[in-house]
Structure 1
Amino acid sequence: MTVGIEMGVSLGAGAEPALMDLEELLATRLLVQGNSGSGKSHLLRRLLEQSAGAVQQVVIDPEGDFVTLAAAHGHVVVDGAHGESDLQAIAARVRAHRVSVVLDLESLDAEAQMRAAAAFLGGLFEAERAHWYPVLVVVDEAQVFAPAAAGEVSDEARKASLGAMTNLMCRGRKRGLAGVIATQRLAKLAKNVAAEATNFLMGRTFLDIDMARAADLLGLDRRGAERFRDLARGEFVALGPALSRRPLALRIGPVFTGSRAGSPTLIPLPQAATADLRALILTRADDEPAAWTPAPRAAPTPRTTPAELMRELGRHRPEPVEAAPTLSEAEIREGIEAVLRGIADDRDAAGQPVAVVYQDFLVRCRMRGLDGEAISLSAFRRRLGVARAGVDEEAAGVDPQADARWEEARSVAAALPDEVQGLFLLLARAALAAEPCPGDEALARAIGSRSPGRARRLLSYIETRGTIVCRMDYRGNRVVALPGLGCETAPGDPKASPGDPKAPPSEVKGLAREGKAVPPEGFGLFAAE
């Protein structure tokens, strides 16, 4: 049996009745779009009134506009303030007894509305198979329950509501649920929800992007899209198997029930003398409660900088403890060097930003009872580069007090940027000890990176400053000369790992220990005379 609902009359010559096939609507769903004031709620009310005696109806009402259907058509009004488990149980009984209801969410905030709607729709969706009777589920302001983007509500509430709306529009047909959703803009509505509708009623809209999208859904050209701007209130363009196979402009018919809110109308202002009006608003009436005085607003708490917070945490002691013994300058220096070596040996610290590693350095110093903040960030960057290069008195293989060239190397490094000082000292150590030139991995580790390419770029940068000279021998090994120190490294494989460098010949090491210039394979820049 085909049930035709008269939604109104078509626009244009003839003004024929515009009918909607209710059975086709139950199978194909409906999407209504229009700006605020275009008549969406009026359209939904017309649909509900015309089909009230033919199919069970469930209305998700965020503004309390449809509760007036209860007196005219026997709908049961369900307050959305019930708990979520109660709403699910009520929804299951609604399907079992085939009662038309209006879920009134007017008293709830946005997040509570989403949770209540999700629970109620979930109860409808999860009903027993024996209760899968046809139900017309009307959702007004659907963009509230299926937003296209995250808003001020929690992610949990948004996901629950969006999932319930998606189930209604995508999987509800086999369970007898026919979704009818209305929204102000298609851009506000989640695509998964809007895409499942087959019938459309497009009302007045003004934004170009909304008109273009509505025209695209209805198969209209650009000129047809501009018609949406000229539609009056209550006029829509319909398309779909339940409405019309071609775009049809129609005017929605009258309704018999009204909204509790109603449309704003102009009423005359009260006519009274100015003195009477002044006394009316400035004098408290006898039956008026005493004026409420708001509590004084607390002064805003000043923001605490990260450095101040770290110092405060360092000073905090949960229980009285004995004062830490005073450390000597030598112990402080040795402790800081140990912390730097620990960070340099930590593989996870490589590649991290210097600011992050600096915070780790401060924490490690506090654990040892050291004042790490005495070292600034720039000084830490320089000392970290030296530590990563493994350049200290023991690792260098030379005595800085006895070898003036080592002190000269440190002075040359001080003139370089902080990022490459450790790299230069690593090369200077290898040149003074006549060791092979470090490989790319060792150079990258000296700058706190895992990228050999970046190490090669910084090596080229130092060479452009005239501090070093690089060359490759006939075997593909790299030799780095330091003209300012009058020495150079032994040939080293650039691809050698830091733990297995090519060992230089023993006679070359002997020349280096005697303080003589090292001729690497006869091709050195500083050949012995």
Structure 2
Amino acid sequence: MTSDIELGTRLEQGRTVPVSVDLVELLATRLLVQGNSGSGKSHLLRRLLEQSASHVQQIIIDPEGDFSTLAGKYNHLALDAADYTLAQLYQAAERVRQHRVSAILNMENVEIDGQLRSAAAFLSGLFDAPRSYWFPVLVVVDEAQLFAPAGGGDYSEEARRASLSAMTNLMCRGRKRGLAGVIATQRLAKLAKNVAAEASNFLMGRTFLDIDMLRASDLLGMERRQAEAFRDLERGHFIALGPAISRKPLPVKIGAVETASRSGEVQVMQFTPLPSIEQAENLVLMDLQATELPQRVEKRPVSVAESTALLDAYIQQAERMEQDSGLCEPTMNADERLEKALEIVYAVLAERVGRDSLPLAEIYQAFSQKWRVAGLGKQGLSIAELRGLVVLANTKTDSAFLQDSDWLTAQSMAKELPDDIQGVFLLIACTAIRKQPAPTEKQVAYIYGTASLARARRQIEYLEEKNFIVICYEEQGRKEKIAIPGTNWETALLAKG
């Protein structure tokens, strides 16, 4: 079966001939599209996506929601970044690669800083996927200058660095992982050079600034006196060059598409007359009553710290409601309460055997329900206590360990870490205290609430960087065991997995 797809047409000796793209070559050499707003970049990307949808998996990073209409016709999974945390987007990206699902990451409801963070998380999930999932995938990034900016802007430096790093990985190191970047930008000057430089195929559309025209002509190997041609290009017309399209600059008129942007094309009103001055005053100025500007609320992904704070607030609110209602609490001392709680956590995890990950919020909800069904009143455990019990249940530790002085010390040490990584430290500390083999990366990932082994490795590296653990190596360089500085705790030989 041929790998060529028809991109559009061109004129040759007075007749129209098709212009094709070698999809296999494109996957190996990547593509850069440039054109001013209104030049037809989105139309070009849509044509490319529609024509290749049945040939290759596709991922679309869509800052404006323009490509969501592809979902219905071509079975793309539509993801709204505002509905997921960064960790969930990372995990979703891994699963997208695992199951070869074409997906659209729609970020129109996320403010600019959140867009950079969301794109970074999703692209990192694609990049970090295990080698067994490195199937070919076309990764289309519209408005790439937002995610790989050449300079600063209305976003935090942390978000810019994360997004730029992810885009650099996509364009510079993605080919071996099966990732083929297709990036579109309004201006090359706005796009980071190390990202733009990795593309070998180019489609240059209408542009007006002299510096942009000169850069476009230089990239295509055209003479500088021909640079004016980019100013005269019509909408949907591009000049193409690259091993996947043509070995010399080739004018292309992009073909028709089957789907349309939700915003549609700009239409001039031909039949409905505009309101008169009198009508306009009545429609716009009558009964203006607003006294202040409305507060704009931006939807954005919720961080792990914010999720934990929400859980704590929920617990406190539930406690207050039960106190106000006069509910009686069963008589149990602190030790009995923890033993009973550990028993219920064991039951919760037993019902979820086989899961790759189990977020703490889900554990809390299931635990709380079982606690109340058992007639034990309010559960009265903090998130930190519940996290420790999950670690003990995961390592098959009995309730006698709850009062072990070393375990109490480990819980106190964990409080110095960010909330999301405390469970990972407690897991390692528990195995070290009990002289058991160190946890596998899969166990670490489970406790962290992810299925990503790469993400689990990063948490272990973070703990070693912060001197909470020390990884000991054999002479041959293999990891042997993990020790906790300042204590006599160390694991047995490190298990593989």
Say whether the fold is shared (TM-score over 0.5): yes
**Residue in 1 aligned with 2:37?**
36
Selected match of 1:293 from 270, 291, 300: 291
**Residue in 2 aligned with 1:195?**
197
Deviation at 1:276, TM superposition (A): 4.5
Q: 1:116 to 1:275 in 2, by over 3 A?
A: same
Deviation at 1:157, TM superposition (A): 0.3
Selected match of 1:281 from 281, 284, 298: 284
RMSD over aligned CA atoms reads 1.7
Deviation at 1:275, TM superposition (A): 4.3
- 1:461-476 aligned within 5 A: none
Deviation at 1:110, TM superposition (A): 1.1
Local SS of the residue matching 1:47: helix
CA distance in 2, matches of 1:196, 1:282: 54
Residues 11 and 251 of structure 1 are in contact (CA less than 8 Å); yes or no, is this contact kept in structure 2? no
**Residue in 1 aligned with 2:27?**
26
Q: 1:90 to 1:281 in 2, by over 3 A?
A: same
CA distance in 1, matches of 2:253, 2:268: 25
Q: 1:293 to 1:123 in 2, by over 3 A?
A: same
Local SS of the residue matching 2:109: coil
Residues 142 and 189 of structure 1 are in contact (CA less than 8 Å); yes or no, is this contact kept in structure 2? yes
**Residue in 2 aligned with 1:229?**
231
Q: 1:221 to 1:88 in 2, by over 3 A?
A: same
CA distance in 1, matches of 2:37, 2:276: 38
Selected match of 1:99 from 98, 101, 117: 101
Deviation readout 1:362-389 (Å, 9 max, x if unpaired): xxxxxxxxxxxxxxxxxxxxxxxxxxxx
- 1:120-159 aligned within 5 A: 120-159=122-161
Report the AA paired with residue 34 of structure 1: G
Local SS of the residue matching 1:157: helix
Deviation at 1:281, TM superposition (A): 2.9
Deviation at 1:294, TM superposition (A): 1.7
Local SS of the residue matching 1:49: helix
Report the AA paired with residue 55 of structure 1: V
Which one has more relative contact order, counting CA pairs under 8 Å at least 6 apart?
2
Deviation readout 1:477-507 (Å, 9 max, x if unpaired): xxxxxxxxxxxxxxxxxxxxxxxxxxxxxxx
Q: 1:170 to 1:275 in 2, by over 3 A?
A: closer
Deviation readout 1:141-173 (Å, 9 max, x if unpaired): 000000001112111000000000000000000
The reply on whether 1:116 has 2:130 as its aligned counterpart is no
CA distance in 2, matches of 1:205, 1:280: 39
Local SS of the residue matching 1:247: strand
Deviation at 1:272, TM superposition (A): 5.8
- 1:425-444 aligned within 5 A: none
**Residue in 2 aligned with 1:3?**
3
Residues 2 and 23 of structure 1 are in contact (CA less than 8 Å); yes or no, is this contact kept in structure 2? no
Residues 64 and 108 of structure 2 are in contact (CA less than 8 Å); yes or no, is this contact kept in structure 1? yes
Deviation readout 1:277-300 (Å, 9 max, x if unpaired): 43333334xxxxx9332289xxxx
TM-score, structure 1 length as denominator? 0.53
- 1:340-351 aligned within 5 A: none
Deviation readout 1:309-367 (Å, 9 max, x if unpaired): xxxxxxxxxxxxxxxxxxxxxxxxxxxxxxxxxxxxxxxxxxxxxxxxxxxxxxxxxxx
Q: 1:50 to 1:279 in 2, by over 3 A?
A: same
- 1:305-384 aligned within 5 A: none
Deviation readout 1:82-137 (Å, 9 max, x if unpaired): 11000001001100110101000001111111000000000000001100000000
The reply on whether 1:57 has 2:58 as its aligned counterpart is yes
Report the AA paired with residue 281 of structure 2: R
CA distance in 2, matches of 1:202, 1:295: 42
Residues 218 and 224 of structure 2 are in contact (CA less than 8 Å); yes or no, is this contact kept in structure 1? no
Q: 1:237 to 1:291 in 2, by over 3 A?
A: same
CA distance in 2, matches of 1:188, 1:274: 43
Q: 1:230 to 1:86 in 2, by over 3 A?
A: same
**Residue in 1 aligned with 2:431?**
none
**Residue in 2 aligned with 1:161?**
163
**Residue in 2 aligned with 1:67?**
68
CA distance in 2, matches of 1:122, 1:178: 14
Q: 1:204 to 1:273 in 2, by over 3 A?
A: closer
Q: 1:269 to 1:54 in 2, by over 3 A?
A: same
Deviates more, 1:5-14 or 1:172-181: 5-14
**Residue in 1 aligned with 2:437?**
none
Deviation readout 1:449-500 (Å, 9 max, x if unpaired): xxxxxxxxxxxxxxxxxxxxxxxxxxxxxxxxxxxxxxxxxxxxxxxxxxxx
CA distance in 2, matches of 1:7, 1:174: 26
Local SS of the residue matching 2:16: coil
Radius of gyration: which is bigger? 1
Deviates more, 1:137-146 or 1:263-272: 263-272
Q: 1:294 to 1:19 in 2, by over 3 A?
A: same
Local SS of the residue matching 1:11: strand
CA distance in 2, matches of 1:194, 1:214: 12
Deviates more, 1:271-280 or 1:110-119: 271-280
Deviation at 1:224, TM superposition (A): 2.1
Local SS of the residue matching 2:37: coil
Q: How many residues align?
A: 291
Local SS of the residue matching 1:262: coil
Deviates more, 1:256-265 or 1:116-125: 256-265
CA distance in 1, matches of 2:41, 2:88: 30
CA distance in 2, matches of 1:73, 1:147: 31
Deviation at 1:223, TM superposition (A): 2.5
CA distance in 2, matches of 1:279, 1:245: 61
Residues 91 and 120 of structure 1 are in contact (CA less than 8 Å); yes or no, is this contact kept in structure 2? yes
Residues 38 and 233 of structure 1 are in contact (CA less than 8 Å); yes or no, is this contact kept in structure 2? yes
Residues 2 and 22 of structure 1 are in contact (CA less than 8 Å); yes or no, is this contact kept in structure 2? no
Local SS of the residue matching 2:105: strand
Report the AA paired with residue 3 of structure 1: S
Percent identity, please: 64
CA distance in 2, matches of 1:295, 1:255: 41
CA distance in 2, matches of 1:70, 1:219: 38
- 1:237-276 aligned within 5 A: 237-267=239-269, 268=271, 270=273, 274-276=277-279
Local SS of the residue matching 1:149: coil
Selected match of 1:213 from 215, 218, 230: 215
CA distance in 2, matches of 1:128, 1:96: 9
Deviation at 1:2, TM superposition (A): 3.9
Deviation readout 1:245-303 (Å, 9 max, x if unpaired): 1111110000010001122222155466654443333334xxxxx9332289xxxxxxx
Q: 1:277 to 1:154 in 2, by over 3 A?
A: closer
Q: 1:101 to 1:277 in 2, by over 3 A?
A: same
**Residue in 2 aligned with 1:301?**
none
Residues 87 and 120 of structure 1 are in contact (CA less than 8 Å); yes or no, is this contact kept in structure 2? yes
Q: 1:280 to 1:202 in 2, by over 3 A?
A: closer
